[in-house]
Amino acid sequence: MGRDNDFEGKVIAITGGASGIGLSTAQILLSRGASVAIGDVDEAAMQSAKKSLQPAERVLVTRVDVSKRSNVDEWIEAVVERFGKLSGAANCAGVIGKHHGTRKVEELEDDQWDLIMSVNLTGPGSVVCVSSVQGTLGFAKHAAYAASKHGVLGLVRSAAKEVGERNIRVNAVTPGSIQTPLMDKRNALEGVDPNDHTVTPINRMAQPSEVGNLIAWLLSDEATFVSGATYAVDGGWAC
């Protein structure tokens, strides 16, 4: 079987799948034969994803708030009812909060901390979790986001230990500067020049597909002995 259809017969659930890295991952998996279930909360992005993701019979787009366990349980039930099974998952959902890059840790509002942690850290278990370069480094005025992304890596490593005997693999990716709506929001909040790539040795911003390709590999049968691992996709930022 070639890579053009190496996901044929597989069903992958993707949180945060209506835009950015999640959407790109869905497109890659569809092109390789998978059926994909998109869970997101952005209605406009979900409508756009429904139109762009083809073939439609292999796509399910659902409004899912991953910070609410009941939402996730109902979604997974719907996925299995539609496609008959669930083969793997990519947790791409994430938020940065309204004070990202503008307030120190003691200045954060409790609701913002709770929102960020509930979406980024205590969302549902998954086969591949999207952390961040901020999951490996410290960043001033980014405490809640960085803490949640560090937490993702701890969760991945612990989960890999717990479920490995069931032949379930759990891995993480840590993206750097990626051209996504979330990055656009961050740049606007902090007044960052999107063309300033001084922290990235590969002097540019990455496209979502450059992360999606790695996620697809980790989900694939080419990575069957890879678990508990973290892969950087940051152009050399954190090395």
pLDDT at res. 114: 45
Confirm if 219 and 128 have CB atoms less than 8 A apart.
yes
Burial zone of 146 (CB within 10 Å; 0-12 exposed, 13-18 middle, 19+ buried): buried
Task: Give the C-alpha separation, 40 to 46, whole Å.
Answer: 7
Task: Give the C-alpha separation, 233 to 138, whole Å.
Answer: 17
Task: Give the C-alpha separation, 102 to 115, whole Å.
Answer: 17
Task: Measure Cα distances from 133 to 32, 74, 143, 172 in Å.
Answer: 28, 32, 13, 11
- Shortest CA distance to 135 belongs to which of 115, 121, 114, 118? 121
pLDDT at res. 101: 41
User: Parallel, antiparallel, or unpaired: how do β-strands 88-91 and 128-130 relate?
Assistant: parallel
Task: Measure Cα distances from 36 to 76, 90, 225 in Å.
Answer: 12, 10, 23
What does the pLDDT profile of the chain (239 residues) look like in tens digits?
Answer: 457 799 999 999 999 999 999 999 999 999 999 999 999 999 999 999 999 999 999 999 999 988 888 888 888 889 989 999 888 889 888 644 443 343 443 444 444 434 433 434 333 335 788 887 666 677 676 677 778 887 888 888 888 888 888 788 889 999 888 877 766 776 566 667 777 778 889 989 989 999 999 999 999 989 989 999 999 999 998 88
pLDDT at res. 186: 60
pLDDT at res. 30: 98
**pTM of whole model > 0.85?**
no
Structure tokens at 160: 């890999």
pLDDT at res. 96: 40
Domain 3-233 annotated CATH 3.40.50.720: yes
Burial zone of 71 (CB within 10 Å; 0-12 exposed, 13-18 middle, 19+ buried): middle
Active site (catalytic) residues: 145, 149
Q: How far is CA 200 from the centre of its chain?
A: 21
- Shortest CA distance to 116 belongs to which of 102, 90, 98? 98
pLDDT at res. 217: 94
- Shortest CA distance to 171 belongs to which of 116, 117, 232, 123? 232
**Secondary element (H or E) of residue 110:** helix 110-120
